Amino acid sequence: SSDLSSPSRITGDQSLGRAARKQPTMAKPGYVKPASTGMAAGLNKGFIVTRRELKQKPSYRRGRKGERVSLVREVVREVVGFSPYERRMIELIKIGSASTFKRALKLAKKRLGTHRRGTKKRNEMSDAVAAMRRKA
């Protein structure tokens, strides 16, 4: 006798991976489902109904950076500066060889835990170096 109202039970939405959560459907963007035939069998089977244009759910914009958040992060970066490992990464990127670029990724991966986070941080730091060069 399993309790269906138990909060520990994983619902269908929670069990989906990160990629599946981003898009509401499996269909390609811009795909429109053909109208139902009114028949009980076949590809487009089903009762004929008028399609309603639904407003997009707020949950679909999950993960997008807002204007305010980006401004706050920019101000914090300006005031606080870079952490020691970020400064070390900047030095490695400034050298400019392929091996030091790779070493910067290795350092970021060690500090941040995953390859994706590491590459994102390395790109952020190389953008910072480019911005410094533009200023100077």
What does the pLDDT look like over 7-32, one tens digit per residue?
Answer: 444 444 444 444 444 556 688 888 88
- The residues near 94 (Cβ < 8 Å, ≥ 6 apart) are 129
Residue with tokens 């076949």: 42
pLDDT tens by residue, 82-124: 999 999 999 999 999 999 999 999 999 999 999 999 999 999 9
> What is the Cα–Cα distance from 36 to 45, expressed in whole angstroms?
6
What secondary structure letter does DSSP report for 48?
Answer: -
The 3-state DSSP class for residue 135 equals helix
Residue 134 · residue 121 · CB < 8 Å: no
